[in-house]
Amino acid sequence: MTKSPILALSGGVGGAKLVLGLSKIMPPKELVVIANTGDDEIFHNLHVSPDIDTIMYTLAGISDTDRGWGLSRETWNAQEMLLTYGTNPWFNLGDRDLGTHIRRTDLLAQNFTLSEVTRKLCEHLGVNQIIAPMSDDPVRTRIKTKNGDLSFQEYFVKYQCKPFVKDINFSGSKLAAPSPIFLNGLNQARALIFCPSNPFLSVDPILSINGVRKSVIDFKGPKIAISPIVDGKAIKGPAAKLLLELGHEVSSVGVARYFRDLCDIFILDNKDSHNLNAIKHLGIETRTTNTIMKTEADKISLAEFVLSLTKTFHD
Amino acid sequence: MTKSPILALSGGVGGAKLVLGLSKIMPPKELVVIANTGDDEIFHNLHVSPDIDTIMYTLAGISDTDRGWGLSRETWNAQEMLLTYGTNPWFNLGDRDLGTHIRRTDLLAQNFTLSEVTRKLCEHLGVNQIIAPMSDDPVRTRIKTKNGDLSFQEYFVKYQCKPFVKDINFSGSKLAAPSPIFLNGLNQARALIFCPSNPFLSVDPILSINGVRKSVIDFKGPKIAISPIVDGKAIKGPAAKLLLELGHEVSSVGVARYFRDLCDIFILDNKDSHNLNAIKHLGIETRTTNTIMKTEADKISLAEFVLSLTKTFHD
């Protein structure tokens, strides 16, 4: 009998690293990964789900670890033609990656839900863990900046996170329902993990979905969050810059404050152990370990640490 | 001032060869090529227009002349992923070619007509001649065979023209209108050329469109057809096999009989000069020349021959 699963909430690259670690030490069907889809966007009439794909490609062992995103053995010939046709492809779409977007779009047009499509894609890639979108309904992260209102990809890729962010909201989230797998996980999982993803751009969109924040707060099992900020800097991406611009302390303390009502245990990096007391004062149980995942051993090591905490909590 | 144009009706590879020859000896805006779109098909939710693309790629100088179809410098990585996802890609879609289909589908979804899309694609590829679909409405060639009812691509690519053909029809043609450029050409062109394309699979779909056959018969200028059958064999494709299966004489005489009411001058290959009298007995004016276009010189030579006949007729 499969044990009740671990529910991991994840954005893209950072989250996928921990998910990969977890996948190496757990029965696959016990790992349920909920991917942020606020970053999804339509390019050339094709539905692109960057976080789902990053997690899926990572677990399938076909992601390009040198480049840090996308697929290995990638080529860019379709995009070269799209450029010839006068389009402005600021979002890079590799040929193999396009195979995914073409298949996804085709299946969505056949009225499969994004959850069903994701399951099908994972099956064919040999991914046995469960990956599901946060919602089958469209939720889109909109970033209000001093340079205007941007989609996530415009902010992140086109403008390389440069514009000063004033506010972030999640278009469609009030009307969106959690995906069936997410809802099931919120009710039945034995633990909930906030992967080391950007709070504002990866966790918030998930929590913005109708009813999810309350379900997470009411979640019965242990809830563990890992800080994506180490030594006052983001391991990757604009998390530190956003903490600053949105008026938070740019440190693991700032992140801990974000997670105060959401998690039982907050994990920060060994390098941030000087913040331990400040975080304990927030009333959060904390642990320190190495959270920087460069090698597969790093990923497994952090995953083991997180998994052991879920057991301690239960005992 | 631009002279009234030459209107060339064309299928894929064979027609495109003559069109290329014509393009080398004529002002670009005087060459209007109407492409068969009965072969169009939706693959993976993408709109593929094989004959338009063959002509467009040929005139842009980017077709793969060794392979005989598709684009040069092509790769097949998106298709490899689509195969991984359990699709059955019996129709080969290269990465660069997919750039075209993605752009076309995106523009069609924005409610541009196929004519408008084709014009845009041609502009960006530097094709200055005018290429237009036979119709902006969907017309689909359906082939009744002893193995069942097939689309053109199923017959041509998936089953490699092997099934015995009982009948061919053109779904949607009764409701289809000629594209604006085609209609304009039928009214204003100074000559009409039937490129050496398959009568049943490339010319018939064009003629099947509501009102077109009558407009061709009533066309004022010279109408010239080139036999795609030489020495009892098709230069490429199933033209000879279809003549046989549909009960026609498998020779340039059989083709001439098809064109009897449609053309003023019928061009057959030097190798078929023994058929001259038989064709003259049908009441068609005939000419012989080399119609096999291997080199660019062959293409230009046949184009010059055709173009000179349009002038003779006028004088």
The answer to whether the Cβ–Cβ distance between A99 and B81 falls below 8 Å is yes
Asked if the C-beta of B105 comes within 8 angstroms of chain A's C-beta atoms, the answer is yes
Residue A253 has pLDDT above 60, yes or no: yes
Best B46, B80, B102, B118 member to test A by mutation, with max A CBs in 10 Å, is B102
* Arithmetic mean of pLDDT over chain B: 95
Strand order in the sheet with B148-151: B148-151, B140-145, B165-171
Asked if the C-beta of A42 comes within 8 angstroms of chain B's C-beta atoms, the answer is no
Return the SS3 of B85. Answer: coil
Asked if the C-beta of A183 comes within 8 angstroms of chain B's C-beta atoms, the answer is no
- Residue B190 DSSP symbol: S
* Arithmetic mean of pLDDT over chain A: 95
Q: How far apart are the CA of A183 and the nearest CA of chain B, in angstroms?
A: 27
Q: pLDDT tens across A204-220, in order? A: 999 999 999 999 999 99
Q: What is the mean pLDDT of residues A289-311?
A: 96
Residue B1 has pLDDT above 60, yes or no: no
Count CB atoms within 10 A of the CB of residue A298. 16
Angle among Cα B287, B289, B290 to the nearest 5 degrees reads: 150
H-helix or E-strand spanning residue B8: strand B6-10
pLDDT at site A1: 54
**pLDDT-based confidence at B178, cuts 50/70/90?**
very high
Query: Cα torsion at A290, A294, A297, A298 (round to 10°)?
Result: 20
Asked if the C-beta of A26 comes within 8 angstroms of chain B's C-beta atoms, the answer is no
Q: Cα separation of A14 and A17, whole Å?
A: 5
Q: What is the mean pLDDT of residues B167-192?
A: 97
Q: What is the mean pLDDT of residues A138-152?
A: 96
For residue A97, list chain B residues with Cβ-Cβ distance below 8 A. Answer: 81
Whole-number percent of chain B with pLDDT over 70: 98
State phi, psi for A287 to the nearest 5 degrees: -140, 150
Residue A307 has pLDDT above 80, yes or no: yes
Identify which of B131, B125, B114 has the alpha carbon closest to the alpha carbon of residue B28: B131
Q: How far apart are the CA of B84 and the nearest CA of chain A, in angstroms?
A: 6
Residue B287 has pLDDT above 60, yes or no: yes
For residues A134 and A178, is the Cβ–Cβ distance under 8 A?
yes
Task: Map tokens 């700032």 to a residue.
Answer: A254
Q: pLDDT tens across B201-214, in order? A: 999 999 999 999 99
Q: What is the mean pLDDT of residues B171-177?
A: 97
The answer to whether the Cβ–Cβ distance between A75 and B77 falls below 8 Å is yes
Residue A198 has pLDDT above 70, yes or no: yes
Asked if the C-beta of A167 comes within 8 angstroms of chain B's C-beta atoms, the answer is no
The answer to whether the Cβ–Cβ distance between B106 and A44 falls below 8 Å is yes
Whole-number percent of chain A with pLDDT over 70: 98
Identify which of B238, B230, B166 has the alpha carbon closest to the alpha carbon of residue B202: B238
Q: How far apart are the CA of A70 and the nearest CA of chain B, in angstroms?
A: 13
Q: How far apart are the CA of A33 and the nearest CA of chain B, in angstroms?
A: 21
Asked if the C-beta of B111 comes within 8 angstroms of chain A's C-beta atoms, the answer is no
Q: pLDDT tens across B264-274, in order? A: 999 999 999 99
Identify which of A110, A91, A16, A80 has the alpha carbon closest to the alpha carbon of residue A48: A91
The answer to whether the Cβ–Cβ distance between A81 and B99 falls below 8 Å is yes
Q: pLDDT tens across B9-29, in order? A: 999 999 999 999 999 999 999
For residue B111, list chain A residues with Cβ-Cβ distance below 8 A. Answer: none
Residue B42 region, left (φ>0) first, then alpha (ψ -120 to 50), else beta? beta
Asked if the C-beta of A63 comes within 8 angstroms of chain B's C-beta atoms, the answer is no
Q: pLDDT tens across B104-131, in order? A: 999 999 999 999 999 999 999 999 999 9
For residue A106, list chain B residues with Cβ-Cβ distance below 8 A. Answer: 44-45
Burial class (CB in 10 A: 0-12, 13-18, 19+), A183: middle
**Cα atoms found within 13 Å of the Cα of residue B110, Cβ hemisphere only:** 12
The interface predicted TM-score (ipTM) is 0.93
pLDDT at site B313: 64
The pairing of strands B285-289 and B265-269 is parallel
Q: What is the mean pLDDT of residues A281-303?
A: 96
Best A45, A56, A76 member to test B by mutation, with max B CBs in 10 Å, is A45
DSSP characters over chain A:
-PPPPEEEEE-SHHHHHHHHHHHHHS-GGGEEEEEP-TT-EEETTEEE-HHHHHHHHHHHT-B-TTTSSSBTT---HHHHHHHHTT----S---HHHHHHHHHHHHHHHTT--HHHHHHHHHHHHT--SEEEESBSS--EEEEEETTEEEEHHIIIIISTT-SPEEEEEEETTTT--B-HHHHHHHHH-SEEEE-S--IIIIIHHHHHSTTHHHHHHH--S-EEEE-SEETTEESSSSHHHHHHHTT--SSHHHHHHHHTTT-SEEEEEGGGGGGHHHHHTTT-EEEEE-----SHHHHHHHHHHHHHHHHHHH-
Q: How far apart are the CA of B153 and the nearest CA of chain A, in angstroms?
A: 19
pLDDT at site A313: 64
Q: pLDDT tens across B50-70, in order? A: 999 999 999 999 999 888 889
Asked if the C-beta of A81 comes within 8 angstroms of chain B's C-beta atoms, the answer is yes
Angle between helices B114-125 and B50-60 (to 10 degrees): 20
Q: Which residue of B has its CA nearest to A81?
A: B99
Angle among Cα B18, B21, B26 to the nearest 5 degrees reads: 120
Q: Which residue of A has its CA nearest to B87?
A: A103
A and B: number of Cβ contacts within 8 A:
100
Task: Map tokens 């000896």 to a residue.
Answer: B25
Residue A27 has pLDDT above 90, yes or no: yes
Residues 114-133 on A with a CB inside 8 Å of B are: 120-121, 124-125
**Cα atoms found within 13 Å of the Cα of residue B280, Cβ hemisphere only:** 9
Residue A315 has pLDDT above 70, yes or no: no
Q: pLDDT tens across B220-250, in order? A: 999 999 999 999 888 888 999 999 999 999 9
Q: Which residue of A has its CA nearest to B74?
A: A77
Q: Cα separation of A103 and B78, whole Å?
A: 10
For residues A104 and A126, is the Cβ–Cβ distance under 8 A?
no
Q: What is the mean pLDDT of residues A174-180?
A: 97
Strand order in the sheet with A6-10: A130-133, A31-35, A6-10, A191-194, A223-226, A265-269, A285-289
pLDDT at site B315: 39
- Among the four given CATH numbers 3.90.180.10, 3.20.20.70, 3.40.50.10680, 3.40.50.300, the one describing domain B6-144+170-314: 3.40.50.10680
pLDDT at site A3: 85
Return the SS3 of B7. Answer: strand
